[in-house]
Structure 1
């Protein structure tokens, strides 16, 4: 069962974050984080992102909102880049970050808008920074 969740998780992880990001993450895996990489692939990607209860775009927007609210800017940038793969528009990102301003605070949203402006400018300029960052 865990192996099946890992395989399903890896498929979703690649679909959302892109092969280049996942290949880099795997290539950079060491003894210290190998169990963590296994865990996030099985649990986050294989057990949660594969569930039918929410669409992939909704999961993406929820993830963006939570990362913005918590101030996890590297992960936020990674998931903003992933919107190209999840079907989330920039307009939806903007509206999500406005929700963050109301429910998590203006400073959190201000920082998240700054990350979004930087990431989208890099994408528009053709910078292929991938989806570096965390998981």
Structure 2
């Protein structure tokens, strides 16, 4: 197996651990010829290389990713990573602290919007748990 193939396989394992099988299965099922190269690239680079590095645990990577996505205003990706925090050990308190940090270093409007997104995700997760 080539280094690229190894990194892709590791990336898929890490991606599934962090985002969950259901999410990855949905993305993979929706993949077509147009976005397949992009999906392969992020599986290998983001998940197989960056998220699989041993220097930081997944919890820490979640916290940093949430702060960065909040700062950049990427609400859809932010919501996905807030959901994924359940799988990485990042708590709601961790997420709150990351968003408070975002407010000071990236601006109150970015954090305000991110907090609204986080509250919406938490409400959805609480609803899912109540139905189980």
1:4 partnered with 2:6? yes
C-alpha separation in 2, matches of 1:126 and 1:55: 27
Aligned pairs, number: 127
For the pair shown, which has the larger CA radius of gyration, 1 or 2? 2
TM-score normalised per structure 1? 0.93
The Cα of 1:48 is off from its aligned counterpart by 0.5
| Larger fraction in helix | 2
Structure 1 unaligned blocks of 5 or more:
128-135
C-alpha separation in 2, matches of 1:85 and 1:17: 7
Q: Which has the higher contact order (CA 8 A, sep 6+)?
A: 1
Q: Give the aligned CA root-mean-square deviation in angstroms.
A: 0.8
TM-score normalised per structure 2? 0.95
Aligned to 1:21: 23
C-alpha separation in 1, matches of 2:36 and 2:127: 34
Aligned to 1:93: 95
Superimposed CA distance per residue, residues 57-93 of structure 1 (whole angstroms, 9 cap, x where no aligned partner): 0000000000000000000000000011000000010
C-alpha separation in 2, matches of 1:63 and 1:15: 16
Structure 2 unaligned blocks of 5 or more:
none
